[in-house]
Amino acid sequence: MKISINGKYYSKRTAKVSVFDHGLLYGDGIFEGIRVYNGRVFKLRDHIDRLYESATSIMLEIPASKDKLTGDVIRAVRLNKLKNAYIRLIVTRGAGSLGLNPFTCRNPQIIIIVDKIILYPPRFYREGLTVITVGTQRNIAEAVSPRIKSLNYLNNILAKIEALNSGLPEAVMLNSFGFVSECTGDNIFTVRKGVIFTPSIYMGVLEGITRACVIDIARDSGMVVKPIVMTRHDIYNADECFLTGTAAEIVPVVKVDGRKIGLGGPGHVTKSLMKKFKKLARSEGVLAF
Ligand code: PMP
């Protein structure tokens, strides 16, 4: 494995960052998770754009242009010779003093890891997931906006622990008003009477790139998609439910808080979107080889 740190390549053993890096000390930094399908980097421009948006929000100047960073990501994929992969693109605040002040950190670190993708078991896609709502609320946007893909994932990790403690793989997180926001690493959708719903980004969610892609696919095939204020009642009474994310792609949800969703199996809209997404993911994207 060849890991890029500021454009230089290191082995897994020698790739290191400083213990004074504020990314480690405070979770002060941002990242993206990106998929490579058949040698093509999927939605690379969207991921680069979102990374720069996160950077703007936390007042971190990425020491590279978007074009340069795009080229660096493609080079890292090529060097690692992986045609199907997961890329972790990270920008940390860099090393500074032990105080919080981010402006003592003069050298943000740009790290690119290209690894094999660890997928959810195929059973999850065939049979659908059982999830629960957890007590840990999603960060309030006025404190730390969930639209920032930051290195501090404790909010999501605490929710994930609650789900795992209940023997379930994912958690539905509510915002501070009690409305549905998203899951710990995925956006959530429902389908009712042929219409697709998802919490609006103003409900405190990450503006998922898979979410946007699924919305486009659905609208292109003539379906209506509505970003809404979603309650748990809406989920319990939906015909279908599914999650979206770069790693998970589209995964059906068949039970929420003990309530069977629809007929209790992956719904036909979900299955059709899964098929269309798979086709798109394997044909689109920036060719790395
Ligand atoms: N929400 C959260 C909290 C996430 O971490 C992620 C990414 N794993 C998503 C949603 C899905 O976003 P994307 O489709 O861009 O991967």
Q: What is the pLDDT of residues 116-138, one digit of tens each?
A: 988 889 999 999 999 999 999 99
Among 79, 97, 115, identify where a domain stops.
115
Residues sharing a CB contact under 8 Å with residue 156, sequence separation 6 or more, in sequence order: 173, 184, 185
Q: Whose CA is nearest to atom 10 of ligand 1?
A: 186
If asked whether residues 130 and 55 sit together in one domain, one would say no
If asked whether residues 269 and 128 sit together in one domain, one would say yes
CATH number of the domain where residue 165 is located: 3.20.10.10
Q: Return the structure tokens found at 182.
A: 């998203």
134 Rama sector, left if φ>0, alpha if ψ -120 to 50, beta otherwise: beta
**β-sheet bridge partners, residue 7:** none
- Per-residue model confidence (pLDDT) at position 52: 98
If asked whether residues 95 and 139 sit together in one domain, one would say no
| Substitution site in 246, 249, 280 for ligand 1 pocket (most atoms within 8 Å of beta carbon) | 246
Q: Is the shortest distance between the CB of 206 and ligand 1 below 6 Å?
A: yes
- Per-residue model confidence (pLDDT) at position 148: 98
If asked whether residues 85 and 141 sit together in one domain, one would say no
If asked whether residues 143 and 106 sit together in one domain, one would say no
Q: Whose CA is nearest to atom 5 of ligand 1?
A: 185
- Per-residue model confidence (pLDDT) at position 41: 97
Residues belonging to the active site: 149
How many other CB atoms sit within 10 Å of the CB of residue 205? 25
If asked whether residues 172 and 195 sit together in one domain, one would say yes
Q: Is the shortest distance between the CB of 262 and ligand 1 below 6 Å?
A: no
CA distances from 122 to 37, 80, 163, 183 (A): 17, 26, 20, 19
Range of the domain at 203: 122-281
Residue 269, domain member (yes or no): yes
Residue 286, domain member (yes or no): no
If asked whether residues 146 and 102 sit together in one domain, one would say no
Write out residues in the chain with pLDDT < 50, as ranges: none
- Look at the block and give the residue holding tokens 């086709």: 279
Q: Encode pLDDT of 141-161 as tens digits.
A: 999 999 999 999 999 999 999
